[in-house]
Structure 1
Amino acid sequence: MTEDPKGLLTELTAMRKRARADRHGYWLPFLLFGLITLGATPFYGPRLCVDSGQDPELVEPRVCSWTSADLPWLYHWLHPTGQMEGPVFGLHQPSIAPDLYWIVALLCGYLAVVWWYRWRAAQVGVETPTRLYAQVTIFMLVLPLIGVPVLSELIFGRLGWQIALPITVVLIVAATWRVRSVRFTLAVLALFALAHFATIYPYGPLFVLAAGLIGLAYLERSAVCTITVVIFTATVLFVNEAGRFGFYWPYPVENFASTALPAFVLLVGGIIGSVRREMAR
Protein backbone atom coordinates (compact mmCIF):
# COMPACT_ATOMS: atom_id res chain seq x y z
CA MET A 1 0.00 0.00 0.00
CA THR A 2 1.37 3.40 -0.97
CA GLU A 3 1.97 6.17 1.61
CA ASP A 4 1.28 8.96 -0.88
CA PRO A 5 -1.97 10.77 0.11
CA LYS A 6 -3.19 10.84 -3.48
CA GLY A 7 -2.41 7.15 -3.89
CA LEU A 8 -4.15 6.33 -0.62
CA LEU A 9 -7.24 8.20 -1.77
CA THR A 10 -7.22 6.33 -5.08
CA GLU A 11 -6.88 2.98 -3.30
CA LEU A 12 -9.65 3.88 -0.86
CA THR A 13 -11.95 4.84 -3.72
CA ALA A 14 -11.19 1.56 -5.48
CA MET A 15 -11.85 -0.40 -2.26
CA ARG A 16 -15.21 1.31 -1.79
CA LYS A 17 -16.13 0.58 -5.39
CA ARG A 18 -15.27 -3.10 -4.95
CA ALA A 19 -17.22 -3.22 -1.67
CA ARG A 20 -20.31 -1.79 -3.37
CA ALA A 21 -19.94 -4.27 -6.20
CA ASP A 22 -19.59 -7.16 -3.74
CA ARG A 23 -22.65 -5.98 -1.79
CA HIS A 24 -24.90 -5.81 -4.84
CA GLY A 25 -26.51 -9.17 -5.44
CA TYR A 26 -29.77 -8.16 -7.09
CA TRP A 27 -28.81 -9.79 -10.39
CA LEU A 28 -29.65 -13.31 -9.16
CA PRO A 29 -33.11 -12.38 -7.75
CA PHE A 30 -33.86 -10.65 -11.06
CA LEU A 31 -32.94 -13.78 -13.02
CA LEU A 32 -34.88 -16.00 -10.61
CA PHE A 33 -38.07 -13.93 -10.62
CA GLY A 34 -37.76 -13.40 -14.37
CA LEU A 35 -37.85 -17.16 -14.87
CA ILE A 36 -40.73 -17.49 -12.38
CA THR A 37 -42.73 -14.84 -14.26
CA LEU A 38 -41.99 -16.52 -17.58
CA GLY A 39 -43.08 -19.85 -16.12
CA ALA A 40 -46.52 -18.42 -15.34
CA THR A 41 -47.27 -17.79 -19.04
CA PRO A 42 -49.01 -21.13 -19.77
CA PHE A 43 -51.56 -20.51 -17.02
CA TYR A 44 -53.01 -17.49 -18.83
CA GLY A 45 -53.71 -18.95 -22.25
CA PRO A 46 -57.37 -19.28 -23.31
CA ARG A 47 -59.08 -22.67 -23.16
CA LEU A 48 -60.72 -23.52 -26.48
CA CYS A 49 -63.70 -25.84 -26.87
CA VAL A 50 -66.12 -27.12 -29.50
CA ASP A 51 -69.79 -27.85 -28.95
CA SER A 52 -70.75 -31.39 -28.11
CA GLY A 53 -71.32 -33.54 -31.19
CA GLN A 54 -69.27 -31.34 -33.53
CA ASP A 55 -66.12 -32.45 -35.32
CA PRO A 56 -63.11 -30.46 -33.98
CA GLU A 57 -61.49 -30.71 -37.41
CA LEU A 58 -64.43 -29.07 -39.15
CA VAL A 59 -65.40 -26.43 -36.60
CA GLU A 60 -63.19 -23.64 -35.39
CA PRO A 61 -62.78 -23.91 -31.61
CA ARG A 62 -64.09 -21.07 -29.48
CA VAL A 63 -63.31 -19.93 -25.98
CA CYS A 64 -64.83 -22.27 -23.41
CA SER A 65 -67.75 -20.89 -21.45
CA TRP A 66 -67.58 -20.81 -17.67
CA THR A 67 -69.39 -19.52 -14.61
CA SER A 68 -68.13 -18.63 -11.17
CA ALA A 69 -70.07 -21.59 -9.79
CA ASP A 70 -67.61 -23.89 -11.57
CA LEU A 71 -64.70 -22.55 -9.54
CA PRO A 72 -63.61 -24.13 -6.22
CA TRP A 73 -64.10 -22.48 -2.83
CA LEU A 74 -60.42 -21.60 -2.58
CA TYR A 75 -60.68 -19.43 -5.68
CA HIS A 76 -63.59 -17.51 -4.16
CA TRP A 77 -61.63 -17.12 -0.93
CA LEU A 78 -58.62 -15.68 -2.76
CA HIS A 79 -60.82 -13.45 -4.95
CA PRO A 80 -63.64 -12.31 -2.65
CA THR A 81 -64.81 -9.62 -5.07
CA GLY A 82 -64.27 -11.66 -8.23
CA GLN A 83 -61.70 -11.11 -10.93
CA MET A 84 -61.75 -8.44 -13.58
CA GLU A 85 -61.47 -9.28 -17.27
CA GLY A 86 -58.96 -6.92 -18.81
CA PRO A 87 -58.11 -6.30 -22.48
CA VAL A 88 -55.40 -8.98 -22.42
CA PHE A 89 -57.19 -11.45 -20.20
CA GLY A 90 -60.61 -11.15 -21.79
CA LEU A 91 -60.26 -14.71 -23.11
CA HIS A 92 -58.63 -16.01 -19.96
CA GLN A 93 -60.72 -18.50 -18.00
CA PRO A 94 -60.01 -18.02 -14.29
CA SER A 95 -58.84 -21.05 -12.34
CA ILE A 96 -57.08 -21.87 -9.11
CA ALA A 97 -53.95 -23.12 -10.92
CA PRO A 98 -52.23 -19.73 -11.44
CA ASP A 99 -53.00 -18.74 -7.84
CA LEU A 100 -51.35 -21.89 -6.50
CA TYR A 101 -48.41 -21.43 -8.86
CA TRP A 102 -47.77 -17.87 -7.74
CA ILE A 103 -48.17 -18.64 -4.04
CA VAL A 104 -45.64 -21.49 -4.16
CA ALA A 105 -43.28 -19.78 -6.62
CA LEU A 106 -43.15 -16.44 -4.78
CA LEU A 107 -42.69 -18.13 -1.40
CA CYS A 108 -39.85 -20.29 -2.73
CA GLY A 109 -38.36 -17.28 -4.50
CA TYR A 110 -38.49 -15.24 -1.29
CA LEU A 111 -36.72 -17.97 0.68
CA ALA A 112 -34.12 -18.37 -2.06
CA VAL A 113 -33.37 -14.62 -2.11
CA VAL A 114 -32.92 -14.46 1.68
CA TRP A 115 -30.60 -17.48 1.55
CA TRP A 116 -28.70 -15.95 -1.36
CA TYR A 117 -27.93 -12.69 0.44
CA ARG A 118 -26.89 -14.47 3.62
CA TRP A 119 -24.66 -16.82 1.66
CA ARG A 120 -23.09 -13.88 -0.17
CA ALA A 121 -22.46 -12.09 3.11
CA ALA A 122 -20.51 -15.10 4.37
CA GLN A 123 -18.52 -15.29 1.13
CA VAL A 124 -17.60 -11.65 0.49
CA GLY A 125 -17.83 -10.22 4.01
CA VAL A 126 -20.25 -7.46 2.99
CA GLU A 127 -23.88 -7.97 3.97
CA THR A 128 -26.99 -6.50 2.40
CA PRO A 129 -29.71 -6.42 5.10
CA THR A 130 -32.78 -8.36 4.01
CA ARG A 131 -35.11 -7.44 6.87
CA LEU A 132 -37.08 -4.82 4.96
CA TYR A 133 -37.33 -7.03 1.88
CA ALA A 134 -38.57 -9.91 4.04
CA GLN A 135 -41.14 -7.70 5.78
CA VAL A 136 -42.54 -6.32 2.52
CA THR A 137 -42.64 -9.74 0.85
CA ILE A 138 -44.27 -11.54 3.77
CA PHE A 139 -46.76 -8.69 4.14
CA MET A 140 -47.70 -8.90 0.46
CA LEU A 141 -47.95 -12.69 0.56
CA VAL A 142 -50.11 -12.82 3.69
CA LEU A 143 -52.51 -10.02 2.80
CA PRO A 144 -54.00 -11.55 -0.37
CA LEU A 145 -54.12 -14.98 1.29
CA ILE A 146 -55.68 -13.96 4.60
CA GLY A 147 -55.99 -10.21 5.14
CA VAL A 148 -58.08 -9.16 2.15
CA PRO A 149 -60.47 -12.18 2.30
CA VAL A 150 -61.04 -11.73 6.03
CA LEU A 151 -61.62 -7.98 5.70
CA SER A 152 -63.98 -8.58 2.79
CA GLU A 153 -65.95 -11.15 4.77
CA LEU A 154 -66.08 -9.40 8.15
CA ILE A 155 -66.16 -5.71 7.23
CA PHE A 156 -66.57 -4.87 3.55
CA GLY A 157 -69.15 -7.56 2.84
CA ARG A 158 -71.31 -6.55 5.80
CA LEU A 159 -70.95 -2.77 5.92
CA GLY A 160 -70.36 -1.89 2.29
CA TRP A 161 -67.20 -0.26 0.99
CA GLN A 162 -68.51 3.29 1.59
CA ILE A 163 -68.40 2.66 5.35
CA ALA A 164 -65.80 -0.11 5.55
CA LEU A 165 -63.08 1.74 3.62
CA PRO A 166 -62.85 4.76 5.97
CA ILE A 167 -62.98 2.41 8.98
CA THR A 168 -60.11 0.31 7.57
CA VAL A 169 -58.01 3.40 6.86
CA VAL A 170 -58.60 4.76 10.38
CA LEU A 171 -57.65 1.42 11.96
CA ILE A 172 -54.43 1.20 9.93
CA VAL A 173 -53.47 4.78 10.79
CA ALA A 174 -54.25 4.23 14.48
CA ALA A 175 -52.21 1.02 14.56
CA THR A 176 -49.13 2.45 12.84
CA TRP A 177 -49.05 6.16 13.63
CA ARG A 178 -47.47 5.91 17.08
CA VAL A 179 -45.22 2.99 16.22
CA ARG A 180 -43.37 4.37 13.21
CA SER A 181 -43.19 7.46 11.02
CA VAL A 182 -45.72 9.00 8.66
CA ARG A 183 -43.90 7.38 5.74
CA PHE A 184 -44.38 3.98 7.34
CA THR A 185 -48.12 4.57 7.71
CA LEU A 186 -48.42 5.67 4.08
CA ALA A 187 -46.41 2.63 2.97
CA VAL A 188 -48.73 0.26 4.88
CA LEU A 189 -51.79 1.93 3.36
CA ALA A 190 -50.27 1.59 -0.12
CA LEU A 191 -49.46 -2.09 0.44
CA PHE A 192 -53.02 -2.77 1.66
CA ALA A 193 -54.40 -1.15 -1.50
CA LEU A 194 -51.93 -3.10 -3.63
CA ALA A 195 -52.91 -6.37 -1.97
CA HIS A 196 -56.57 -5.65 -2.71
CA PHE A 197 -55.78 -4.98 -6.39
CA ALA A 198 -53.83 -8.25 -6.48
CA THR A 199 -57.05 -10.16 -5.83
CA ILE A 200 -58.99 -8.30 -8.55
CA TYR A 201 -56.66 -8.33 -11.55
CA PRO A 202 -55.53 -11.57 -13.21
CA TYR A 203 -51.98 -10.20 -13.25
CA GLY A 204 -52.28 -9.18 -9.59
CA PRO A 205 -49.43 -11.46 -8.43
CA LEU A 206 -47.09 -9.30 -10.49
CA PHE A 207 -48.07 -6.44 -8.15
CA VAL A 208 -46.90 -8.56 -5.23
CA LEU A 209 -43.63 -9.27 -7.04
CA ALA A 210 -43.15 -5.58 -7.89
CA ALA A 211 -43.64 -4.57 -4.24
CA GLY A 212 -40.96 -7.03 -3.13
CA LEU A 213 -38.57 -5.81 -5.82
CA ILE A 214 -39.15 -2.18 -4.80
CA GLY A 215 -38.11 -3.12 -1.27
CA LEU A 216 -35.04 -4.85 -2.69
CA ALA A 217 -34.13 -1.79 -4.77
CA TYR A 218 -34.41 0.38 -1.65
CA LEU A 219 -31.88 -1.85 0.11
CA GLU A 220 -29.49 -2.18 -2.81
CA ARG A 221 -29.16 1.55 -3.51
CA SER A 222 -28.18 0.66 -7.07
CA ALA A 223 -29.14 2.75 -10.09
CA VAL A 224 -29.39 -0.31 -12.37
CA CYS A 225 -31.52 -2.17 -9.83
CA THR A 226 -33.86 0.79 -9.31
CA ILE A 227 -34.23 1.52 -13.03
CA THR A 228 -34.96 -2.15 -13.76
CA VAL A 229 -37.67 -2.30 -11.08
CA VAL A 230 -39.28 0.91 -12.38
CA ILE A 231 -39.26 -0.40 -15.97
CA PHE A 232 -40.61 -3.76 -14.79
CA THR A 233 -43.53 -2.13 -12.93
CA ALA A 234 -44.29 0.18 -15.85
CA THR A 235 -44.16 -2.76 -18.27
CA VAL A 236 -46.61 -4.77 -16.16
CA LEU A 237 -49.09 -1.91 -16.23
CA PHE A 238 -48.56 -1.11 -19.90
CA VAL A 239 -48.88 -4.58 -21.39
CA ASN A 240 -51.98 -5.35 -19.34
CA GLU A 241 -53.78 -2.02 -19.46
CA ALA A 242 -52.81 -0.55 -22.85
CA GLY A 243 -55.91 -2.12 -24.43
CA ARG A 244 -58.09 0.21 -22.40
CA PHE A 245 -56.55 3.06 -24.39
CA GLY A 246 -56.92 1.45 -27.82
CA PHE A 247 -53.60 -0.39 -28.07
CA TYR A 248 -53.97 -4.13 -28.67
CA TRP A 249 -51.31 -6.76 -29.06
CA PRO A 250 -51.40 -9.04 -32.14
CA TYR A 251 -53.50 -12.08 -31.36
CA PRO A 252 -50.61 -14.62 -31.63
CA VAL A 253 -48.71 -12.85 -28.83
CA GLU A 254 -51.63 -11.39 -26.90
CA ASN A 255 -51.69 -14.13 -24.29
CA PHE A 256 -47.91 -14.08 -23.80
CA ALA A 257 -47.20 -10.35 -23.61
CA SER A 258 -48.64 -9.98 -20.11
CA THR A 259 -45.96 -12.18 -18.52
CA ALA A 260 -43.23 -12.63 -21.14
CA LEU A 261 -42.39 -8.94 -21.55
CA PRO A 262 -42.10 -8.20 -17.79
CA ALA A 263 -40.02 -11.37 -17.45
CA PHE A 264 -37.76 -10.14 -20.26
CA VAL A 265 -37.16 -6.88 -18.36
CA LEU A 266 -36.06 -8.76 -15.23
CA LEU A 267 -33.83 -11.15 -17.17
CA VAL A 268 -32.11 -8.28 -18.97
CA GLY A 269 -31.67 -6.41 -15.69
CA GLY A 270 -30.18 -9.50 -14.08
CA ILE A 271 -27.74 -10.01 -16.95
CA ILE A 272 -26.67 -6.35 -16.88
CA GLY A 273 -26.19 -6.48 -13.11
CA SER A 274 -24.07 -9.63 -13.38
CA VAL A 275 -21.90 -8.13 -16.13
CA ARG A 276 -21.41 -4.88 -14.18
CA ARG A 277 -20.37 -6.85 -11.11
CA GLU A 278 -17.76 -8.81 -13.04
CA MET A 279 -16.41 -5.64 -14.63
CA ALA A 280 -16.11 -3.92 -11.24
CA ARG A 281 -14.14 -6.75 -9.65
Structure 2
Amino acid sequence: MADESAPQANSPHEMLAAVRDLTRRVRVAQRGTWFPLLVFAVITLVAIPVYRYAPYVDVFGTCRTRPQDKVCMAPNPAELGYWTVALLLAYAAIAAFYVRQSRRRGLGTPIRPYVVVGVALAVMMTAVSIWLTFHPLLPQPADPFSTNPVQIEVGPAAWLVNGLASPLGVIGLALLVLAWVERHVALLAYTLAYLAIGMVQGNQVIHSSSPWFFLPDLLVPAALLLLGAAAFALFRPGAKVRAA
Protein backbone atom coordinates (compact mmCIF):
# COMPACT_ATOMS: atom_id res chain seq x y z
CA MET A 1 0.00 0.00 0.00
CA ALA A 2 1.53 3.24 -1.08
CA ASP A 3 2.21 5.85 1.57
CA GLU A 4 0.27 9.09 1.14
CA SER A 5 1.28 12.29 2.82
CA ALA A 6 -1.37 13.76 5.06
CA PRO A 7 -2.79 17.05 3.81
CA GLN A 8 -1.49 20.04 5.72
CA ALA A 9 -3.92 22.50 7.25
CA ASN A 10 -1.90 25.46 6.13
CA SER A 11 0.32 25.83 3.11
CA PRO A 12 3.46 28.03 3.27
CA HIS A 13 1.66 30.67 1.23
CA GLU A 14 -1.28 30.70 3.63
CA MET A 15 1.03 30.94 6.64
CA LEU A 16 2.95 33.83 5.05
CA ALA A 17 -0.31 35.62 4.28
CA ALA A 18 -1.45 35.11 7.88
CA VAL A 19 1.82 36.53 9.23
CA ARG A 20 1.54 39.55 6.94
CA ASP A 21 -2.05 40.12 7.99
CA LEU A 22 -1.11 39.90 11.67
CA THR A 23 1.79 42.31 11.12
CA ARG A 24 -0.55 44.77 9.43
CA ARG A 25 -3.09 44.54 12.25
CA VAL A 26 -0.38 45.03 14.85
CA ARG A 27 0.89 48.14 13.04
CA VAL A 28 -2.64 49.51 12.91
CA ALA A 29 -3.15 48.80 16.60
CA GLN A 30 0.11 50.58 17.44
CA ARG A 31 -0.99 53.81 15.78
CA GLY A 32 -1.74 56.80 17.94
CA THR A 33 -1.60 59.39 15.19
CA TRP A 34 -4.15 61.72 16.73
CA PHE A 35 -2.03 62.39 19.82
CA PRO A 36 1.09 63.91 18.13
CA LEU A 37 -1.18 66.10 16.01
CA LEU A 38 -3.01 67.30 19.12
CA VAL A 39 0.25 68.03 20.96
CA PHE A 40 1.63 70.01 18.02
CA ALA A 41 -1.63 71.96 17.77
CA VAL A 42 -1.44 72.86 21.46
CA ILE A 43 2.15 74.14 21.33
CA THR A 44 1.28 76.14 18.19
CA LEU A 45 -1.60 77.85 20.00
CA VAL A 46 0.50 78.45 23.12
CA ALA A 47 3.03 80.23 20.88
CA ILE A 48 0.53 83.06 20.28
CA PRO A 49 1.11 84.89 23.61
CA VAL A 50 4.85 84.31 23.22
CA TYR A 51 4.86 86.03 19.82
CA ARG A 52 2.69 88.87 21.11
CA TYR A 53 4.09 89.60 24.56
CA ALA A 54 7.62 88.19 24.84
CA PRO A 55 10.10 91.10 25.08
CA TYR A 56 12.69 91.36 22.34
CA VAL A 57 16.13 90.44 23.60
CA ASP A 58 18.88 91.44 21.19
CA VAL A 59 20.89 88.25 21.70
CA PHE A 60 22.47 88.36 18.24
CA GLY A 61 23.22 92.09 18.19
CA THR A 62 21.14 92.83 15.09
CA CYS A 63 19.24 95.82 16.47
CA ARG A 64 20.18 99.39 15.58
CA THR A 65 18.72 102.47 17.21
CA ARG A 66 18.56 106.21 16.81
CA PRO A 67 16.54 108.75 18.84
CA GLN A 68 13.10 107.69 17.59
CA ASP A 69 13.75 104.47 15.70
CA LYS A 70 14.76 100.93 16.47
CA VAL A 71 15.24 98.29 13.77
CA CYS A 72 15.97 94.63 14.49
CA MET A 73 16.95 92.52 11.50
CA ALA A 74 16.24 89.16 13.18
CA PRO A 75 13.10 87.55 14.61
CA ASN A 76 12.64 87.63 18.36
CA PRO A 77 15.07 85.10 19.91
CA ALA A 78 12.39 84.39 22.54
CA GLU A 79 10.29 82.80 19.81
CA LEU A 80 13.13 80.51 18.75
CA GLY A 81 13.79 79.59 22.38
CA TYR A 82 10.11 78.81 22.89
CA TRP A 83 9.90 76.52 19.87
CA THR A 84 13.07 74.64 20.77
CA VAL A 85 11.86 73.90 24.30
CA ALA A 86 8.26 73.28 23.24
CA LEU A 87 9.25 70.77 20.54
CA LEU A 88 11.53 68.86 22.90
CA LEU A 89 8.76 68.68 25.52
CA ALA A 90 6.29 67.64 22.81
CA TYR A 91 8.45 64.69 21.76
CA ALA A 92 8.85 63.64 25.40
CA ALA A 93 5.05 63.66 25.81
CA ILE A 94 4.55 61.74 22.55
CA ALA A 95 7.12 59.11 23.54
CA ALA A 96 5.43 58.68 26.95
CA PHE A 97 2.03 58.31 25.27
CA TYR A 98 3.21 55.61 22.86
CA VAL A 99 5.05 53.68 25.58
CA ARG A 100 1.97 53.76 27.82
CA GLN A 101 -0.21 52.65 24.92
CA SER A 102 2.12 49.77 24.03
CA ARG A 103 2.14 48.54 27.63
CA ARG A 104 -1.63 48.71 27.86
CA ARG A 105 -2.07 46.74 24.64
CA GLY A 106 0.81 44.35 25.18
CA LEU A 107 2.49 45.38 21.94
CA GLY A 108 5.90 46.83 21.21
CA THR A 109 6.10 50.34 19.80
CA PRO A 110 8.40 51.60 17.01
CA ILE A 111 8.24 55.20 18.21
CA ARG A 112 11.93 55.55 19.14
CA PRO A 113 13.14 56.42 15.59
CA TYR A 114 10.44 59.07 15.33
CA VAL A 115 11.36 60.70 18.65
CA VAL A 116 15.10 60.62 17.87
CA VAL A 117 14.56 62.21 14.45
CA GLY A 118 12.16 64.76 15.95
CA VAL A 119 14.67 65.86 18.58
CA ALA A 120 17.40 66.06 15.94
CA LEU A 121 15.14 68.21 13.74
CA ALA A 122 14.42 70.56 16.65
CA VAL A 123 18.14 71.01 17.32
CA MET A 124 18.86 71.51 13.61
CA MET A 125 16.06 74.07 13.38
CA THR A 126 17.70 76.11 16.13
CA ALA A 127 21.11 75.94 14.46
CA VAL A 128 19.77 76.80 10.98
CA SER A 129 17.64 79.65 12.34
CA ILE A 130 20.67 81.20 14.02
CA TRP A 131 22.67 80.82 10.80
CA LEU A 132 19.86 82.45 8.79
CA THR A 133 19.94 85.40 11.18
CA PHE A 134 23.39 86.32 9.87
CA HIS A 135 22.98 84.88 6.35
CA PRO A 136 19.39 85.65 5.32
CA LEU A 137 18.13 83.89 2.23
CA LEU A 138 15.01 86.01 1.80
CA PRO A 139 14.59 89.78 1.43
CA GLN A 140 14.78 91.55 4.79
CA PRO A 141 13.00 94.73 5.88
CA ALA A 142 14.76 97.83 4.61
CA ASP A 143 17.34 99.21 7.01
CA PRO A 144 16.56 102.92 7.48
CA PHE A 145 20.14 103.50 8.66
CA SER A 146 21.67 102.16 5.49
CA THR A 147 22.31 104.30 2.43
CA ASN A 148 23.13 101.25 0.30
CA PRO A 149 20.64 98.45 1.00
CA VAL A 150 21.69 94.96 -0.08
CA GLN A 151 19.53 93.16 -2.60
CA ILE A 152 19.24 89.41 -2.11
CA GLU A 153 18.63 87.07 -5.03
CA VAL A 154 15.86 84.67 -4.10
CA GLY A 155 15.65 81.24 -5.74
CA PRO A 156 13.53 78.13 -5.15
CA ALA A 157 16.19 76.60 -2.90
CA ALA A 158 16.12 79.65 -0.63
CA TRP A 159 12.34 79.45 -0.27
CA LEU A 160 12.56 75.72 0.45
CA VAL A 161 15.26 76.05 3.11
CA ASN A 162 13.49 78.97 4.75
CA GLY A 163 10.18 77.11 4.86
CA LEU A 164 11.53 73.80 6.13
CA ALA A 165 13.68 75.51 8.77
CA SER A 166 10.62 77.10 10.36
CA PRO A 167 9.04 75.46 13.43
CA LEU A 168 5.93 74.49 11.48
CA GLY A 169 8.08 73.06 8.70
CA VAL A 170 9.97 70.98 11.25
CA ILE A 171 6.65 69.66 12.58
CA GLY A 172 5.71 68.61 9.04
CA LEU A 173 9.03 66.82 8.50
CA ALA A 174 8.58 64.98 11.79
CA LEU A 175 5.09 63.91 10.71
CA LEU A 176 6.58 62.47 7.51
CA VAL A 177 8.83 60.30 9.69
CA LEU A 178 5.82 59.25 11.78
CA ALA A 179 3.94 58.27 8.60
CA TRP A 180 6.90 56.07 7.64
CA VAL A 181 7.16 54.54 11.12
CA GLU A 182 3.45 53.74 11.25
CA ARG A 183 3.21 52.81 7.54
CA HIS A 184 0.30 55.25 7.45
CA VAL A 185 -0.69 56.31 3.92
CA ALA A 186 -3.46 58.63 5.13
CA LEU A 187 -1.03 60.45 7.44
CA LEU A 188 1.44 60.78 4.55
CA ALA A 189 -1.19 62.44 2.37
CA TYR A 190 -2.27 64.72 5.22
CA THR A 191 1.33 65.73 5.99
CA LEU A 192 2.12 66.58 2.37
CA ALA A 193 -0.92 68.88 2.28
CA TYR A 194 0.11 70.41 5.62
CA LEU A 195 3.65 71.03 4.37
CA ALA A 196 2.40 72.60 1.13
CA ILE A 197 0.22 75.06 3.03
CA GLY A 198 3.00 75.73 5.54
CA MET A 199 5.53 76.45 2.78
CA VAL A 200 3.22 78.99 1.16
CA GLN A 201 2.56 80.68 4.50
CA GLY A 202 6.12 80.57 5.73
CA ASN A 203 7.48 82.40 2.69
CA GLN A 204 4.99 85.25 2.69
CA VAL A 205 6.30 88.72 3.53
CA ILE A 206 3.76 90.52 5.71
CA HIS A 207 3.72 94.31 5.84
CA SER A 208 1.61 95.34 8.80
CA SER A 209 1.83 97.64 11.79
CA SER A 210 -0.53 95.46 13.83
CA PRO A 211 1.06 93.65 16.80
CA TRP A 212 -1.11 90.64 15.85
CA PHE A 213 0.15 90.37 12.26
CA PHE A 214 1.50 86.86 12.93
CA LEU A 215 -1.87 85.30 13.84
CA PRO A 216 -2.61 83.64 10.46
CA ASP A 217 0.83 81.99 10.52
CA LEU A 218 -0.11 80.22 13.76
CA LEU A 219 -3.90 79.86 13.62
CA VAL A 220 -4.02 78.21 10.18
CA PRO A 221 -1.55 75.39 10.99
CA ALA A 222 -3.07 74.98 14.47
CA ALA A 223 -6.51 74.55 12.88
CA LEU A 224 -5.12 72.01 10.40
CA LEU A 225 -3.48 70.05 13.20
CA LEU A 226 -6.64 70.08 15.34
CA LEU A 227 -8.78 68.93 12.41
CA GLY A 228 -6.26 66.19 11.63
CA ALA A 229 -6.18 65.04 15.25
CA ALA A 230 -9.98 64.90 15.36
CA ALA A 231 -10.19 62.99 12.07
CA PHE A 232 -7.54 60.40 12.98
CA ALA A 233 -9.07 59.95 16.45
CA LEU A 234 -12.54 59.48 14.95
CA PHE A 235 -11.47 56.90 12.38
CA ARG A 236 -8.90 54.98 14.41
CA PRO A 237 -9.54 51.22 14.58
CA GLY A 238 -11.58 50.17 17.60
CA ALA A 239 -10.30 46.60 17.71
CA LYS A 240 -7.24 45.92 19.82
CA VAL A 241 -4.62 43.35 18.92
CA ARG A 242 -3.26 41.60 22.01
CA ALA A 243 -0.09 39.60 22.19
CA ALA A 244 -0.60 35.90 22.55
Which digits, 9 at most, give the CA deviation of each residue in 1:63-116, with x for residues without a partner?
xxxxxxx7432687xxxxx64xxxxxxxxxx32221221111101001111111
Counterpart of 2:32 in structure 1: which amino acid?
G
Change (3 A) 1:140 1:32: same
State the partner residue of 1:29: 36
Alpha-carbon distance between aligned partners in 1 of 2:167 and 2:237, rounded to the nearest angstrom: 32
Structure 1 74/242 Cα, relative in aligned 2: closer, same or farther at 3 Å? closer
Partner of 1:276: 235
Q: Which residue matches 2:92?
A: 111
Tell me the distance in 1 between the aligned counterparts of 2:79 and 2:124: 17
Q: Cα offset for 1:262?
A: 0.8
The one of 67, 79, 85 equivalent to 1:98 is: 79
Equivalent residue of 1:277, what SS?
coil
Contact 1:33 1:266 in 2 (8 A): yes
Aligned equivalents of 2:77, 2:171: Cα separation in 1:
19
Q: Which moved further from structure 2: 140-149 or 268-277?
A: 140-149
The whole-number CA distance in structure 2 between the counterparts of 1:195 and 1:143 is 13
Give the one of 241, 245, 251 matched to 2:203: 241
Task: Tell me the amino acid that sits aligned with residue 73 of structure 1.
Answer: V
The CA RMSD over aligned residues, in Å, is 4.2
2:59 alignment partner AA: W
| Count of residues in correspondence between the two structures | 195
1:120 aligns with 2:101: yes
SS of 2:32's equivalent in the other structure is: coil
TM-score (norm 2): 0.62
Q: Tell which structure's C-alpha radius of gyration is larger.
A: 2
Distance 1:46 1:265, change over 3 A: same
Q: How far apart are the structure 2 equivalents of 1:234 and 1:213?
A: 13
* Map of 1:225 onto structure 2: 187
Structure with more helix by fraction? 1
TM-score (structure 1 length as normaliser): 0.55
- For structure 1, the 5+ residue unaligned runs are 48-69, 77-81, 84-93, 162-189, 199-203
Per the TM alignment, residue 220 of structure 1 is displaced from its structure 2 partner at its CA by 1.1
SS at match of 1:224: helix
Q: Which has the higher contact order (CA 8 A, sep 6+)?
A: 1
Gaps of 5+ in 2: 1-8, 63-72, 138-156
**Native 8 Å contact 1:129 1:219 kept in 2:** yes
- Equivalent residue number for residue 111 of structure 2: 130
Q: Tell me, what secondary structure is at the counterpart of 1:30?
A: helix
Runs of 4+ in 1 over 6 A off after TM superposition: 11-17
